[in-house]
Structure 1
Amino acid sequence: MLALFIIGFALIGDGLYIKLKAVLAQHLLQQAWQETLTTQTPQKAWSWADTYPVAEISLPNLAIEPVIALRGSSGEALAFAPGHLENTAQPGQQGTAVYAAHRDTHFAFLEKIKATDIIKVKDPQGRDHFYRVDNIRITKWDQSGITNQNSSKRIALVTCWPFNAQTPGPLRYIVEGHLLEKSLSD
């Protein structure tokens, strides 16, 4: 019985550690992001980081805190924040800007998003880009159909699915949207 208690406590502790690390990392990344916007130079959130903040993602329709996204999608980057996938478009540019994150931390809110919602992405120059969600789908990880070779300006937010799963799986939840050419404040 004691062994079961210890194992249970360890599993709960591990789950809490991951969520606390995600929250603390976002706090440090928010500071680095503000410095990036001020200096117009990429700033690392901690000295040993192999990546730096490249975007701030928010959903004006949902009451969630904005999340800071990191350059790249390595396991280390995704442990702390969403990652902007290498070789995909920058926000507001032709092609598809692809961001990936874990379903139980930074992209847990994707479960609540719906078609026509707005995704706001702030780039390192401080420009806001607004995308309208036009497609939500579930697919196998290797059959996403996301392409960067298109003439439109798009975004894709990708996470694992189902949201309540306890183990990794082959399915991905993909939220896609198109750039609104006029600012929402115009």
Structure 2
Amino acid sequence: MSRRLGTELGRALAALLTLMGLGLATQAAWIPAKAAVAQVLLEHAFARTLAEGRPARPWPWADTEPVARLAVAGRSFVVLRGGSGQPLAFGPGHLDGTPEAGAPGTAVIAAHRDTQFGVLGRLGSGDPVTVTGRDGRTLRFRVTGTRVARWDASGIDPQAPGRHLDLVTCWPLEALQAGPLRLIVETELASEAWRS
């Protein structure tokens, strides 16, 4: 009888551990999956924005809207207005208080390293970065350098001379926990705008 009880307890424990493992795997996959599905909805909203000439929300309860499309390292992402947790949960965000990409100064777009901006580690000096704005104009930027800085000492000046775009994500890219360091990919405008 005790051997049978031990076998049943072992099976129950194995089933419980399997369920816990599945739960953890599902939780780990949730954020990247949510970001991938959101990009499809954001693409539709950005297309409506371009067609209608006014901001279109990706879903009725969204508190942000698409402001640009960013092409970097062979990937394309719709950029949302704002850099709070809400926009960044779904895609890259254009930080408030920085100019639009292509305007005088330094525009800043940030995203999570485990969703969209893990690709930043592949960029090097001279690599292209393309931004299409809500007005349909497309701008080409070139990477001028990369650096790592603390989030509170980035040295990014939104009012710097020239026309720059900085792409920002957490550092190191493969870390599992949040930390104070950020990877900053610095770019400058390389060509004039054209309509897409």
Place the TM-score, normalised by the shorter chain, in its bin.
Answer: over 0.9
Which of the numbers 100, 118, 139 marks the counterpart of 1:108?
118
Q: SS at the partner of 1:169?
A: coil
Contact preservation (8 Å) 2:44, 2:58:
yes
Report which of the two has the higher share of helix.
Answer: 2
Deviation at 1:6, TM superposition (A): 3.5
- Does 1:80 find its partner at 2:90? yes
* 2:50 aligned to which of 19, 30, 37: 37
1:20 matched to 2:33: yes
Question: What is the letter of the counterpart of residue 80 of structure 1?
Answer: F
1:51 to 42, 49, 64: 64
1:176 equivalenced with 2:186 (yes/no): yes
Match of 1:11 in 2: 24
The TM-score, its normalising length taken from structure 2, stands at 0.88
Report which of the two structures shows the higher radius of gyration computed on alpha carbons: 2
After TM superposition, the score normalised by the length of structure 1 is 0.92
Distance 1:52 1:173 in 2: 25
> Where does structure 1 lack aligned partners over 5 or more consecutive residues?
none
* Structure-1 separation of matches of 2:152 and 2:20: 34
The equivalent of 1:165 in structure 2 is 175
Query: What do you get for the CA RMSD once the two structures are aligned?
Result: 1.5
Number of residues paired by the alignment? 181
Task: Report runs of 4+ in structure 1 exceeding 6 Å deviation.
Answer: none
Identify the range of structure 1 (43-52 vs 106-115) with the bigger mean alpha-carbon deviation. 106-115
**Higher-strand-fraction structure:** 2
Unaligned residue ranges in structure 2 (runs of 5+): 1-12
For the residues of structure 2 that align with 1:76 and 1:20, how far apart are their CA atoms?
16
Instruction: Give distance in 1, aligned partners of 2:191 and 2:71.
Output: 18
* Fraction of identical pairs, as percent: 42
Structure 2 distance, partners of 1:105, 1:172, is 15
Tell me by how many angstroms 1:182 deviates: 4.0
**In the alignment, does 2:146 pair up with 1:133?**
no
Amino acid at match of 2:179: G
The equivalent position to 1:124 in structure 2, one of 129, 134, 154, is 134
Name the CA shift for 1:151/1:63 in 2 (closer, same or farther; >3 Å): closer
Distance 2:78 2:164 in 1: 19
Matching residue's letter, 2:182 = R
**Secondary structure at 1:151's aligned position in 2?**
coil
